[in-house]
Each structure stands twice: as C-alpha cells, then as structure tokens.
Amino acid sequence: MKLIVCSLLLFGTILSFAQANFPALGDVHIEGQVINGKNQKVMLANQNLGGISSPLYIVTTDSLGKFSFDSPIPFQDYYFLRFDNGQILNIILFGADSIRIYTDTRNVTQFSSIINSPQSVAMNEFLRQFYDFKSFEDSLRNVIMADPTKQAEVDAVFKPKAELFYGYRNAFISTYQRSAALIVTLSAIDPEKEWDLYKGVIDLLALAFPTSPSVQNAVTHGAQLQREREAKAFLQPGNPAKEIALPGVNGDTLRLSDLKGKVVLIDFWASWCGPCRRENPNVVAMYKKYNADGFEVFSVSLDKSTDAAKWKAAIEADGLIWPNHVSDLRGWQCAAAMDYGVKSIPFTVLIDAEGKIIATNVRGVELQNQLSRIFGH
C-alpha cells in the first residue's frame, strides 16, 4: 500500500495554499530545520487530497534551512513533507498538533528527528527498518537472477536476516496495536500467506484511527481481499487442482491431468510480463535440479493471438525447456486463468503427485524451499 506523507513548511513566504474551507480540527504547528536545505521548497501534502499535485502549502526555507508554519488540516490522517529532491517524510496529524522536525535532505529516511509526535517517530523507525530489509532482499534477488546456482548460498544468508526482521515486525505490531503508526506494517505483510495477521492489523487500525481516510481505505481494501479469498477457497492446500486443457505450442491439446504422479508447478505468465521473465531463470534452475525426481512445470501463457510469435520466442529465449507450454491466446480471458481467478502474473500453483494443491504464489526462495522439503535435497 502507499503511505501517506507529510511536508515541511518553512519560516518564509507561503507560495500556495489549498482547501481553504477546512473543518475546525485545530491548526497544526510544525517547525524545525532542514540540514542541507537552505532556500528549498517544501510542501505539506496528503495522498487523499491529491498528493503533490494539490499540496496544502508550498514554502521556501530560509538561508539556514529553518521553517515554521501553522496550517489547518481537513481530517486526521497520514500526511507528508516533500522536499525539492523528491524525498518525503511521513507524519501523522490529528489536529492541534505542535511538532518540531529536524532532517537532512541527503537521506530523509535515515536522518530525521521528530519531536512531540511519538506515533510519527514509531512509524518512521519501522519504515527505516523495512527499507533496509527490502534493500537487502532485493540485492539477494539480483544475485540469484545473475546466477541461479547460488540459491542455497543466498538462502543461508537470507534466512537469519528475515527471521530478525519479521520478529521485529511482529513485536512492533504487538507494541503499537493501539497506534495509528501500525499502518506501515501492512506493507510488510503478504496477505496471501499471512491473511489472519493482515486482517488483524486492519481491524486494530479501524479501532485506533477510525476517522483516517487512509485507514478507511485499508478497511475497504481488506474487505475486497476477503471477498476474493472466499472466491478462491478452492485454492486452499489439500484441495484438488482444477483441470487445465489448452492448446500447446504446436496446437495439440495438453492436459494438466496427464502429469498426475508428478509434482507440478502451474505457472501463469506472459512474454510481455517483466516480473515473469525475471523469475524464469529460477524456475529453469529448479526444473533442472528436480525434474529427474519427478518435478514438472506446466506453463500457461496469457499472451494474445497477436503475440503468438512473441510467446514462442520467449520460451526459446528464456530456455524454458519443459514441454508443457499451453495457451488459448486470449490474454486475460484465458480459460484457465479465469478458472483459477488469476488477477495478476506471475501466479503459480504447486500441486502434489495426486493433483492436490500444496501452495500458491510460490516463487524464488520459497519455491526452492518447497521443492527441497518435498524431494529431500
């Protein structure tokens, strides 16, 4: 989800002001200093008010980077300060706040001090930890993309870091369960794999910050995900996978049921899907490692008829050496995609030798771990 941000206003000339007829929540007072930010424009904005295209204020800091302003706000919510170089600092405003902020525009995320807004402090500390973890995770993903044979080595490095971060995340949720700061943890929860935790955080936010439009949006989104989950109940582990019977590359019909007795990864992808293509080297590596043990891949392309040549070229270019490639070339209207409720790709379903679902959306390290558990190496 996207976080709401907040911008600094400075002791200086107000360049613009929007939404003049606000409800009387009480003006917020924000002052402070921007290191390496003299004579710099900063804006106070809110994603629910148009973001940077409709800032509440735009001002310029003085020669020392100092600023001070008083501003009405239309509702309690997550706001942000945006600086000339595009960096942002997130804050939570309730109305009648009086906050001091000191930051360095060379790295706002790492170097900011917020005084008299403990929930904003907690929120930004979590973001620092989360961004560091994601940067670490992305660097390891790049290693695997460059050399899939390093999977085991990467797993050994990643596992302790992941356990440390997710332990921190869970402790944060427990500590701040009555705080508006809790919203940032939603970005660190996979609703498909941790639905109870994700829904629990949304329920806590609805109690902690019910007037926030951002929280109301999260509640609405959670309800939508709940409906989608109910519609995809058939994908729960242990349920039989639905049959897929589609034309192969040469026009012959290939059936998923023909692979019964094998552990199969059903892989929904397309030649135009960048994340799919980036994941392909990992799937190829897993196929080469476990095919002799009984592992197969059943690739379902969501290419259209106009892209048939690109589909076949992508199979060749990415070295997708397994024989099970199918598509009715109807794009998102692909019969199998509709049967499986596919809304985005890559989307995968791992099934066992009896045709029962083991897990969905397994990729990268998780796919490696699942296959290692199944085949014992």
Q: How many CB atoms lie within 10 A of CB 343?
A: 10
Contact 61, 37 (CB under 8 A): yes
- Give the torsion sign (CA, 257, 259, 264, 270): negative
Distances (CA, A) of 9 to 67, 118, 156: 6, 20, 46
Q: Which pLDDT does position 1 carry in this prediction?
A: 29
- Encode burial over 63-72: b for 16+ CB neighbours within 10 A, e otherwise: eebbbbbebb
- Give me 54's structure tokens: 């409709």
| pLDDT greater than 80 at residue 3 | no
pLDDT, average across residues 98-106: 93
CATH 2.60.40.10 fits 14-105, yes or no: yes
**Tens of pLDDT, residues 58-90:** 889 999 999 999 988 999 999 999 988 889 999
Write down the CATH superfamily of domain 245-375: Glutaredoxin (3.40.30.10)
Distances (CA, A) of 375 to 353, 364, 370: 12, 17, 9
Highest mean pLDDT among 4-13, 140-149, 263-272: 263-272
The CA distance from 205 to 202, in Å, is 5
pTM score of the predicted model: 0.67
Any idea of the CA torsion for 212, 210, 193, 231, to the nearest 10 degrees? -100
Domains 14-105 and 245-375 fall in the same CATH topology? no
Task: Kindly list the domain boundaries of the chain, sorted by start residue.
Answer: 14-105, 124-231, 245-375
**Tens of pLDDT, residues 164-217:** 999 999 999 999 999 999 999 999 999 988 999 999 999 999 999 999 999 999
| pLDDT greater than 80 at residue 134 | yes
